[in-house]
Amino acid sequence: MQCSKHTLKAKNADAAESIPCASYGFINTCLQSLVIEKFGEETWEKLKASAEVQDAFMTYTVYDDIITIKLIQEACKVLGVSMEAILKLFGEYFFKFCKMSGYDRMLRTLGGNLTEFIENLDALHSYLALSYQEMNAPSFRVERGTDGEMLLHYYSDRRGLCHIVPGIIEAVAKDFFDMDVTMDILDVNEEVERTGKKEHVVFLVVQKTRRQTRRALQAAFLRMKEKYLSVSVCPVKKSNWDVVRSIVTFGKGHLRDTFEPIYPESLWIEAKTFCEAFPFHIIFDEALRVKQAGVNIQKYVPGLQTQKIRLDEYFSIVHPQVTFNISSICKFINSQFVLKTRRERMPEAWKDQPTLKLRGQMIWMESLRCMIFLCSPKLRSLQELEERKMHLSDIAPHDTTRDLILLNQQRLAEMELSNQLERKKEELRVLSKHLAIEKKKTETLLYAMLPQHVANQLKEGKKVAAGEFETCTILFSDVVTFTNICAACEPIHIVNMLNSMYSKFDRLTSVHEVYKVETIGDAYMVVGGVPVPIGSHAQRVANFALGMRIAAKEVMNPVTGEPIQIRVGIHTGPVLAGVVGDKMPRYCLFGDTVNTASRMESHGLPNKVHLSPTAYRALENQGFEIIERGEIEVKGKGKMTTYFLIQNLNATEDEIMGRPKTPLDHKGKPQILKPGRPWVKSYPNAHLFPSSPSNMSSRFPLCGFLSYLSGLTSDVTLSLIGFAAPAHRPYFSP
């Protein structure tokens, strides 16, 4: 059946539905390596997510072919290339991957030329099946032509994957045999075998050496050399050794190229001796009638002692999967054959033990018109030998199957160990991934407790020096009548109220980029310009205070059901900052500026932002509406002229609260915005200030905090909330 390109594309598209097979993780690992090497790690992650496959593949684990097909199909979509191109690229890389995985020498010794290499692929697959028992490999058959051409027949249970073959064969030809090969599909059809439908693809392989011109010149040079040597100026008699040496060394010839075997006139071996020397062999005619069998094959298949029985009555062909007749066998005469005994033909006592498989070579004897099957038991381990009630002595001493069983026993043990190591490696990878997630949570928790650069120093085991800041702006706030609310409510209601209020305030600290120092009961303290000095610290804290006042309206008093009222106090001045304590360390501020800011809050009014004189001067002419409160008596400070912050004249409420703007369309309706970063207030001259605390001094060194903080887990110590308004603030002037 001739197959057009459109038909072939349709078959490729249906490949996932038509593949009932499974393959080892080695194939998927190769595909992963290809994508990462050619297109990057990000592309592979995208393919995995699209194909919904697991994170990693293990070499000796069997996976459904649908996983591989899904990955290839998604690669076609993501990379925008055809299935044919992807499969051919995979074929080229698969050859390279096999060489990198330690199969280089094994592949190089398959054949002296490309034809021999392909003819021995089935034998290689048969050997690998000893280790990869679930492997379902394709079959290859070669028809030699003239002028370096050949027909390659490809048989596979997997449909739509034939384009992998040109990628592999062309790479092999170029790497091993230094020749360019072109492969074209001549025919694609389906052959119904006893195991089901198999895809049969016929490739035309044309070989063209890249050094054809140079070799032609070499041939011409050799002809000239031959003529020159034939005309001797001083002829002398050559010795026998010279004659032999000239045969070997002349041109590029080798002694083996001139070898011609000698056959005896009659076979000098008795029939009995032959059957004992080759205990596993069968000779049958064109009608599949058994003519002769080895002694041990008769022992384990007693039916072969019966005269005129048919071979297909006692055996079925496992590989290659062809019809059991002479013509089909002759097609694959260069392949390795595997025959399996039919259980129903075995003695009743043997029905429970595994069937016997024979692996070997078919040889056609033209003069006798018979086929001889020279074979050995196909066994992978000593366990399989015991299960079939066999012994090593049943195998002829010259048969390497003996050594193969013993070597493969060790190989299987090594594979099991390797498989265990792969599983452990995968478990460690998963644990490492989970550890990274937990570490991220730990760092998030740590950075919520301490400034990031301070926390990083503590994690590294370094001592954190106290820093002096020449100017910053500090804010205190509390809830009006908090003591009365606590007396009238259950503790859980107070916790819920404070949690709602603090959550809103915490979000505003990120919007306006101010540092939250601490919460004590209902008191909330933030600072601008610490720990990272910045010139716009006063404006940031002022905008944060305005946002606090708006956010407080959304928090309800559990007693009255009305919005709570807060008092806010702000002061600007110098402070000293550092980490104190080893357990539950805190980044604290010290100095009279802290005391004064606290006094501004305690002497403030409900729903008002109370400013000290220095805070007023820092905000003056910065776009804020500020009114003078007048002169008041401040505890511990005497008389002070203070002010109230009313609003920011240049910012809307949405901007103050960090809400994304929703522009209107031409009809006045809100437009749908793409996801983006919430609005962050821009502060004038922010670029003039460094992003690191360069003006911090180290005059007050503090004891370094233990570096075990980097290993914190999700066990978090929660702070208790006091239910009485604090009479004194725990901040004092030095």
Phi and psi dihedrals of 287, rounded to 5? -90, 10
- Determine which of 172-181, 218-227, 409-418, 492-501 has the lowest per-residue pLDDT on average: 218-227
Tokens 């550092």 -> residue: 578
Q: Are 619 and 645 in contact (CB under 8 A)?
A: yes
- The 10 Å Cβ neighbour count of residue 591 is 20
What is the C-alpha to C-alpha distance for residues 670 and 673, in angstroms, rounded to an integer?
Answer: 9
Within-domain flag for 311 = yes
Mean pLDDT of 131-137: 75
Q: Are 69 and 16 in contact (CB under 8 A)?
A: yes
368 and 487 both lie in a single domain: no
Residue 180: pLDDT band by 50, 70, 90 thresholds? Answer: confident
466 and 393 both lie in a single domain: no
Give the pLDDT confidence score for residue 424 in this predicted structure: 87
Give the pLDDT confidence score for residue 451 in this predicted structure: 82
In 3-state terms, what secondary structure has residue 128? helix
Q: Angle between the 65-79 and 83-98 helix axes, to the nearest 10 degrees?
A: 120
Mean pLDDT of 39-58: 80
Mean pLDDT of 53-77: 79
Angle at 52 between CA 49 and CA 56, to 5 degrees: 85
What is the C-alpha to C-alpha distance for residues 566 and 478, in angstroms, rounded to an integer?
Answer: 6
Q: Domains in the chain: how many in total? A: 2
496 and 597 both lie in a single domain: yes
Give the pLDDT confidence score for residue 145 in this predicted structure: 72
CATH number for 377: 3.30.450.260
CATH number for 596: 3.30.70.1230
376 and 474 both lie in a single domain: no
pLDDT of 12 > 70? The answer is no
Closest Cα partner for 501 from 480, 515, 473?
A: 480
Residue 254: pLDDT band by 50, 70, 90 thresholds? Answer: very low
Mean pLDDT of 434-457: 85
**Domain encompassing residue 297:** 271-398
Within-domain flag for 167 = no
CB burial of residue 234 (10 Å; 0-12, 13-18, 19+): exposed
Residue 221: pLDDT band by 50, 70, 90 thresholds? Answer: low
500 and 637 both lie in a single domain: yes
pLDDT of 275 > 70? The answer is yes
* Greatest extent of the chain over all pairs of C-alpha atoms, in Å: 134
Domain-terminating residue out of 608, 631, 657:
657
DSSP class of residue 256 equals G
494 and 598 both lie in a single domain: yes
What is the C-alpha to C-alpha distance for residues 326 and 284, in angstroms, rounded to an integer?
Answer: 10
pLDDT of 240 > 70? The answer is no
Within-domain flag for 140 = no
Phi and psi dihedrals of 187, rounded to 5? -155, 145
Query: What amino acid occupies position 366?
Result: E
504 and 393 both lie in a single domain: no
- The 10 Å Cβ neighbour count of residue 594 is 25
Within-domain flag for 356 = yes
Q: Are 338 and 358 in contact (CB under 8 A)?
A: yes
Mean pLDDT of 246-271: 68
pLDDT of 203 > 80? The answer is yes
Give the pLDDT confidence score for residue 16 in this predicted structure: 38
pLDDT of 394 > 70? The answer is yes
Euclidean distance between the first and the last CA atom of the chain, given in angstroms as a whole number = 97
Q: Are 326 and 288 in contact (CB under 8 A)?
A: yes
Domain-terminating residue out of 657, 685, 714:
657
**Token pair for residue 132?**
């990869």
Mean pLDDT computed over every residue of the chain: 78
Q: What is the pLDDT of residues 584-641, one digit of tens each?
A: 778 889 999 999 999 999 999 999 999 999 999 999 999 999 999 999 999 888 999 9
Give the pLDDT confidence score for residue 464 in this predicted structure: 77
Tokens 């394709």 -> residue: 138
pLDDT of 114 > 70? The answer is yes
DSSP strand pairing (465-479 vs 515-520): unpaired
388 and 537 both lie in a single domain: no
Within-domain flag for 688 = no
1, 161, 73, 96: CA torsion to nearest 10: -150
- Determine which of 6-15, 19-28, 160-169, 499-508 has the lowest per-residue pLDDT on average: 6-15
- Where would I find the beta strands (DSSP E) of 252-379? 281-285, 290-293, 315-319, 336-341, 357-365, 370-377
391 and 467 both lie in a single domain: no
pLDDT of 383 > 80? The answer is yes
**Token pair for residue 430?**
């998963």
Give the pLDDT confidence score for residue 667 in this predicted structure: 55
Within-domain flag for 423 = no
489 and 630 both lie in a single domain: yes
Mean pLDDT of 134-149: 78
Within-domain flag for 194 = no
Q: What is the pTM for the complete model shown?
A: 0.49
Closest Cα partner for 82 from 188, 9, 17?
A: 9
Tokens 């911090």 -> residue: 696
C-alpha distances out from residue 734 to 529, 533, 569, Å: 20, 21, 21
DSSP class of residue 714 equals S
Q: Are 82 and 5 in contact (CB under 8 A)?
A: no
Give the pLDDT confidence score for residue 720 in this predicted structure: 31
Count how many Cα atoms sit within 13 Å of the Cα of residue 129 in the half-sphere of its side chain: 18
Q: What is the pLDDT of residues 673-688, one digit of tens each?
A: 444 333 334 444 343 3
Mean pLDDT of 662-675: 53
Give the pLDDT confidence score for residue 683 in this predicted structure: 43
Contacts of 452-461 with C-beta under 8 Å, sequence gap 24+, read 453/531, 453/692, 453/693, 454/531, 454/579, 454/587, 455/709, 458/579, 458/585, 458/704, 458/705, 458/706, 458/707, 458/709, 459/707, 459/709, 459/710, 460/707, 461/704, 461/706, 461/707
**What contacts 440, CB < 8 A, 6 or more positions away?**
none
What is the C-alpha to C-alpha distance for residues 79 and 583, in angstroms, rounded to an integer?
Answer: 54
Within-domain flag for 255 = no
pLDDT of 249 > 70? The answer is no
Q: Are 295 and 279 in contact (CB under 8 A)?
A: yes
Instruction: Convert 606-634 to b/e letters by CB count within 10 Å (16 or more is b).
Output: eebbbbbebbbebbeebebebeebeeeeb
Domain-terminating residue out of 356, 376, 398:
398
Give the pLDDT confidence score for residue 2 in this predicted structure: 40
487 and 591 both lie in a single domain: yes
C-alpha distances out from residue 705 to 417, 457, 715, Å: 45, 9, 19
385 and 484 both lie in a single domain: no
Closest Cα partner for 312 from 302, 323, 321?
A: 323
